[in-house]
């Protein structure tokens, strides 16, 4: 790794708030007859990073509604906070 690559890697590590460019929701079946589990995968800055949330069913509804009603979303990797901008009501 040359010096330029090392500098780029350090810069990438310093970025703590990233733009959510894609949000993928999934549901996984548990044991037969048992409740399943939701996951929401956040793709950050077109694949520069990602994070997986494990919300409840109710929280998943809210997250997806906010995603469709907002102009943008960002995710703070350090504090684990998902923020939606300019939500249209």
Q: Centre a 10 Å sphere on the Cβ of residue 28 and count the other Cβ atoms it contains.
A: 8
The model's pTM is 0.78
Q: What pLDDT score does 49 carry?
A: 93
Mean pLDDT of 41-70: 95
Tell me the DSSP string of 6-47.
Answer: HHHHHHHHH--EEEEEEEEEEEE--STTS--EEEEEEEEGGG
Helices (H), the chain: 3-14, 57-69
Q: Where are the chain's structural domains?
A: 15-87
User: How far is CA 70 from its chain centroid?
Assistant: 14
Q: Tens of pLDDT along 27-46? A: 999 889 888 999 999 999 99
């Amino acid at each position: 790794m040359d010096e330029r690559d090392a500098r780029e890697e350090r810069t990438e590590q310093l970025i703590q708030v990233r733009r959510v460019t894609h949000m993928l929701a999934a549901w996984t079946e548990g044991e037969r007859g048992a409740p399943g589990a939701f996951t929401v995968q956040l793709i950050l800055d077109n694949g520069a990073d990602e994070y997986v949330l494990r919300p409840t069913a109710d929280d998943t509804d809210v997250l997806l509604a906010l995603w469709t009603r907002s102009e943008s979303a960002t995710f703070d990797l350090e504090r684990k906070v998902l923020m939606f901008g300019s939500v249209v009501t």
